[in-house]
A and B are shown apart, each in its own frame.
Chain A
Amino acid sequence: MKELRDPAVLRRLLDEIGAKAGLLGRTPRLMEVCGTHTMTLFKHGLTPMLAEAGVEMVSGPGCPVCITPNAVHEAAIAAVTGTEGLTLAAFGDMTRVPTRKGSLQAAVPAAGSRLRIVYSPEEALDEARREPGRQVVFFGAGFETTIPGIAYTAKRAAAEGLRNFSILPALWLIPPALRAILDAGEIAVDGFIYPGHVSAVIGAAPYEFVARDYGIPGAIAGFEPGDMLLGVRSVLDQALAGRAEVALEYGRAIGREGNAVARALMDEVFEPFDAVWRGLGKIPGSGLRFRAEYAGLDAGRRWGMAAETAEMADASDLAGCRCGEVLRGVIRPAGCPLFSKRCRPDSPLGPCMVSFEGACLIHFKYGPVRRARS
């Protein structure tokens, strides 16, 4: 799919976008809510190119690292440092968030315990099967893209009667967060780029309320630079035509109806609850927790942490960190007094500077690249 990265094609799409933005007569602000979208923009240097074309890109709370409250990260740290013979399996992204107890990655495990980076929850389940004498806790963090896989793993563990496997859940749903941002009214968003792979699971319907109730156009986009520019172009087309809908610009990979099998699995194992998001506070129906039948797999319960640990969220953020406002798109990273002074990639004070998709890290790394003195 290298055509989707061809500079000539991207240039052409940017020119079209520039022309359309010009017709709009103002600089539209588009929000994406997916860490991988943020990463695509960053990796390919698209954000400044879009800015030059007259479109402002803003990142919303699309980074599960960033929105999982410190209390949950601290629970993971407590598990691996406080229990012997335990494997804490986690996705790489989750392990570097600085909490009052340091990061998961820097934590020194208890005797015989270890942190293990995994790519899939199945790797954690495999270890539990192979080593019945070890406790394996999977730090299950993610949005709807990842949740079905976690649900499947939970179901298998239950079916196999494994006693040494549990999941510490940090499961978040995108559409309720979108509603919360719009209702907060803190920031004017002219359009949304919806996450292509979340949509692979949930389809297009869950975003329709944005178009219908708020009149804001949006497009579901894939993850190559060309895909994102197609998404931006689609949103501008809608704006110019005075339309608001949920356009699908990633039809090659997903259908409007999403994946019903995946959704059924999520629904079987988990139930929604009002979760607390870092920076956004409590959002109705925005998180998933284990249903009663699966409570035995809940690491939060097993390790004496309340399932609603997340309640303690904001209190445990490091002082001065304004990640919350960055996550809501209210301030740009430069608006945080700690940004690039005390809070830097090598000494991060908050998740937005730690996560590869954190807005602060991205702004730090590639902010305006200035020309040298001539």
Chain B
Amino acid sequence: MCLAVPAKIVRLEESGQGTASYMGSEVRANFSLVPRARPGDWVIIHAGFAISIVDAREARETLRLFKEMAATDRR
């Protein structure tokens, strides 16, 4: 029940609506649940609503961890 993707905010409108970009596609969503989000932030979008702001630093850290795991595994 949690199908959601991380997308990057492109544009925010007064109404709370806006657009975010995911893999080159643009999706309209409502950002009222994450009032601190700004264009350029990554958010988790579920059923047309952004429910959480992605922590860019933690995301990079996770990626780095996985890249490391992948690298050390290459024999």
Which of A's residues lie within 8 Å of B, judged by CB? Answer: 1, 3-4, 6, 8-9, 11-13, 34-37, 39, 62-64, 91, 119-123, 142-143, 145-146, 148-149, 152, 195-198, 200-201, 223, 226, 251-255, 259, 261-262, 265, 357
Contacts and interface: CB of A to CB of B under 8 A. Distances in A.
Nearest to B51: A200
A198 B1 CA distance: 8
A37 B4 CA distance: 12
Contacts of A91: 47
Interface in B27-75: 29-30, 32-35, 44, 46-49, 51-52, 54-55, 58-59, 61-63, 66-67, 69-70, 73-74
Nearest to A11: B73
A145 B2 contact: yes
Contacts of B66: 3-4, 6, 9, 226
A209 B58 CA distance: 27
Contact of B33 (A6, A148, A197, A253): A148
Given A4-B62, A142-B47, A145-B51, 12 more contacts: A3-B63, A8-B74, A36-B2, A62-B1, A120-B30, A145-B47, A146-B1, A149-B49, A195-B2, A252-B54, A253-B59, A255-B52
Contacts of B62: 4, 251-252
Contacts of A196: 2
A259 B35 CA distance: 11
Residue among A201, A255, A259 with most chain B CB within 10 A: A259
B34 A259 contact: yes
B48 A123 contact: yes
A6 B70 contact: yes
Interface majority SS (helix, strand, loop, mixed), chain A = helix
Contact of A251 (B30, B35, B51, B58): B58
A154 to B, nearest CB: 13
Contacts of B18: none
A198 B48 contact: no
B71 to A, nearest CB: 9
Contacts of B46: 145-146, 149, 197
B2 A34 contact: yes
Nearest to B16: A152
Given A12-B69, A149-B33, A119 B47 contact: yes
A237 to B, nearest CB: 15
Report, as a range, how many residues of chain B touch the other chain.
20 to 34
A357 B30 CA distance: 26
Contacts of B2: 34-37, 143, 145, 195-198, 223
A119 B73 contact: no
Residue among B30, B46, B63 with most chain A CB within 10 A: B46
B42 to A, nearest CB: 9
Contacts of B54: 252-253
Contacts of A3: 63, 66-67, 70
A277 to B, nearest CB: 14
A197 B51 contact: yes
Given A3-B63, A195-B1, A9 B73 contact: yes
Nearest to B49: A149
Contacts of A9: 66, 69-70, 73
Contacts of B69: 6, 8-9, 12-13
B27 to A, nearest CB: 9
Contacts of A226: 66
Nearest to A195: B2
A251 B57 CA distance: 10
B70 A36 contact: no
A89 B20 CA distance: 24
Contacts of A143: 1-2
B52 A259 contact: yes
Nearest to B44: A253
Nearest to A251: B58
Contact of A253 (B3, B6, B34, B63): B6
Contacts of B44: 197, 200, 253-254
Given A36-B3, A149-B49, A198-B1, A262 B33 contact: yes
